Homo-oligomer: A and B are copies of this chain.
Amino acid sequence: MIRERGVKKVRIAGMGRALAGRKLYFGDQVRYRLLPGQTILDLGVEAAYQALRNAGMKIEDMDCIVCAMATPLQAIPCNAALFHERMAKGLSIPAIDINTTCTSFISAVDIFSCLVDIGRYEHVLILSGDTASAALNSGQKESYELFSDGAAACVLTRAGENDSSGILYSRQETWSEGVHDTEIRGGCGMMPVFCMDEGNREDYYFDMKGHRILKLCARRLPKFVDRCLKEAQISREEIHLVIPHQASRALGVIMPKLGFSKDKYIDRVAQYGNMVSASVPFALCEAEEMGWVKHGDLVLLMGTAAGLTVNFLLMRF
């Protein structure tokens, strides 16, 4: 088998996913939120063990635990250390967080496919998931009715010599003219917890300016996608399935503008909403379970994240 030029020889050996326990309906849209006492740690651990089982591996086999999440579980320590305690206490596996907000999973696969390819690590457990419900503003209907709490995980591992799996191409860009279009201004270093009062309470909630994001995406995303496809020397027709970040119900407007017809991409916004960093791996996991994507298929992971960051990653599954 010819090794594609520049291909990172990795494969996803197993995936898992978990939804929060409380089911809500907003019209025809289904959302999931954490039950009292339930945390993203619980969901992440469930998804991770499922990924390990599907990979036929144990936590002891992992060389690195990576949390690819948009938001912290605690301000200190990093998320991966908290998962380490739940899954790998007593082991010495390094724990690292990678964050590019909603596309953190794609960035983590991008970065760790390089590290696995060169042998820095061999088996990497990547977890995604965010407590979206912790900061939703009931006064902002658009975002309040959009998000779900969920988690997803995968085991990324070296691909065998005769395995066609790998990362063919990846590109990330950040367009910070959109940095304040999706944010939680308060609660951390810029506006500490102890500064919250009745006058600035709104700043501690999630704030999304959907219309501005759409405008920025409409202006820059088509050129970005065209450039990536050209550099990757891949046509839209060759791509078996696109897994976009499930940003919002506008997915059905954006994707055709990028040249992807409805049968070419996953849109599960009505079923699950936006699960922040978990959206992409959750959709990929479901696609594999449902048989929509199979070993050897060319899959495109892509998305826009708060920042505004855009990711494009072509993977032979």
Contacts and interface: CB of A to CB of B under 8 A. Distances in A.
B74 A72 contact: no
A98 B100 contact: no
B120 A114 contact: yes
A290 interface: no
Interface string A200-233: 0000101000000000000000000000000000
B115 A77 contact: no
Contacts of A100: 78, 80, 94-97
A179 B72 CA distance: 15
A204 B196 contact: no
Interface stretch (A45-53, A130-138, A242-250): A130-138
Interface stretch (A10-18, A82-90, A261-269, A280-288): A82-90
Given A39-B189, A204-B194, A135 B75 contact: yes
A305 interface: yes
A152 to B, nearest CB: 16
A74 B188 contact: yes
Contacts of A75: 71-72, 135, 184, 187-188
Contact of A184 (B76, B84, B92, B184): B76
A41 B190 contact: yes
Given A99-B96, A187-B188, A307 B176 contact: no
A172 interface: yes
Centre residue among A81, A180, A186 by max chain B CB count within 10 A: A81
Contacts of A120: 114
A87 to B, nearest CB: 9
B77 A306 contact: yes
B94 A190 contact: no
Nearest to A186: B193
Oligomer: number of copies: 2
A309 B193 contact: no
A73 interface: yes
Contacts of A40: 189
Interface in A47-81: 65, 70-78, 80-81
A179 B80 CA distance: 10
A88 B176 CA distance: 8
A185 interface: yes
A163 interface: no
Contact of A174 (B41, B84, B118, B135): B84
A177 B307 CA distance: 34
A29 interface: no
A93 interface: yes
Contacts of A90: 177
A186 B188 CA distance: 11
Given A81-B174, A97-B98, A118-B118, A74 B204 contact: no
The 7 closest A-B pairs by CB, nearest first: A131-B189, A81-B307, A77-B306, A94-B172, A97-B99, A85-B176, A95-B174
20 contacts: A39-B190, A70-B76, A71-B72, A73-B189, A74-B184, A76-B184, A77-B309, A78-B306, A81-B174, A81-B306, A82-B190, A88-B174, A94-B172, A111-B115, A118-B118, A131-B188, A131-B190, A135-B193, A187-B193, A193-B193
